[in-house]
Amino acid sequence: MARDEVPASGRELKFRALMAELRRGILDGTWPPGSKRPTERALATETGLSVTTVRRAYEDLVALGLVERRQGAGTFAAHRHEEPGDRRIVGVLVPDTAFYSPRVLQGIEKELAAAGARLVLACSHYVPAEEDAAVRRLLSSGVHGLLLVPTLHTAVDPGRRAEELLALPVPAVLVERRLAATHGPGDPTEHVCTDHEGGAYDAVRHLRALGHDGLALLVRSDAPTTAPIESGFALAVADLGLHAPLRIREERQGWNPRRADRAVADARGGRHRRPLLRRPRGRSRPCGHPAAPVCGSPRIWR
């Protein structure tokens, strides 16, 4: 949905979510061809939606050829006939193609190739309008599923944005994005994420094992991974009884090599002389280096 369009109503979002769930269950084999689906009234009771909404979803699934109505018998998952040369297509949306994205994409492409599927790539450049346009292009290209790295951390309502994406007409999984800050363990999204919180906790524990008891944390204030990193850092500092740490936060717009060097100097100089836990700018020196004990990737010690 483009940002200048009228937002979908709550009723419409619930319909899309139901459609996405039903479609996903049929396409991934949860409901195999020929299996009987619940009646409209039974599904309405199960989901808490109206019979009208359920009927509309079933009618759309019939139009897509995913279910079939049998007079006097009910609604059944349809048998799908695929040509021998058909390949599943998975659309992948990333905010940029630099940093860690190439390695992630390489892994995705390798797994898809092994499964006989192929990848279609799109990039949003962290621009919401481009993100919406890219999703529309991927859907128009006929993808069977989506792996999405959306800009949830800058959305006015991340929960609603996630609902919109997960209610798309094909199965969608969020990559390196979740609603931990607003939903915690109750996050309803389908997602796969690096354990940034656990990584930060391990980083602090590693530095403490080297004999350091005063730490500094340097993060971008507008990055999607900042919240879990700060959470893991704070938990570890509290659990290990360390001194109050120095925290340095900076927005991406104001970040550059000179600012990074100044932050490191601030953390290591005067009363703030301490090891620094930060995300690497490129390479990072080994933790425990006598000149600058700098820790980079969250899981570097495992």
Domain ranges across the chain = 10-77, 89-192, 196-295
Q: What is the pLDDT of residue 183?
A: 65
What are the pLDDT digits (tens) for 205-215? 999 999 988 78
CATH number for 10-77 (one of 2.160.20.70, 1.10.10.10, 3.40.50.80, 3.40.50.720): it is 1.10.10.10
10-77 and 89-192 share one fold: no
Q: What is the pLDDT of residue 277?
A: 53
State the pTM of this model: 0.59
First vs last C-alpha separation in the chain: 41
Domain covering 89-192: architecture: 3-Layer(aba) Sandwich (3.40)
Q: What is the pLDDT of residue 287?
A: 35
User: SS3 sequence, 129-151?
Assistant: HHHHHHHHHHHHCCCCEEEECCC
User: SS3 sequence, 256-277?
Assistant: CHHHHHHHHHHHHCHHHCCCEE
φ, ψ (nearest 5 deg) of residue 112: -65, -40
Q: What is the pLDDT of residue 126?
A: 85
Q: Rg for the chain (alpha carbons), in Å?
A: 24
Q: What is the pLDDT of residue 290?
A: 29
Domain covering 196-295: architecture: 3-Layer(aba) Sandwich (3.40)
Q: What is the pLDDT of residue 182?
A: 64
Q: What is the pLDDT of residue 82?
A: 54
CA 175/CA 159 separation, integer angstroms: 15
The whole-number mean pLDDT for each consecutive block of 10 residues of the chain, a chain of 302 residues, reads 50 80 76 85 90 89 85 84 67 82 84 87 88 91 91 84 87 86 72 89 93 84 84 92 81 78 74 47 34 32 28
Token pair of 283 as six digits: 């390479």
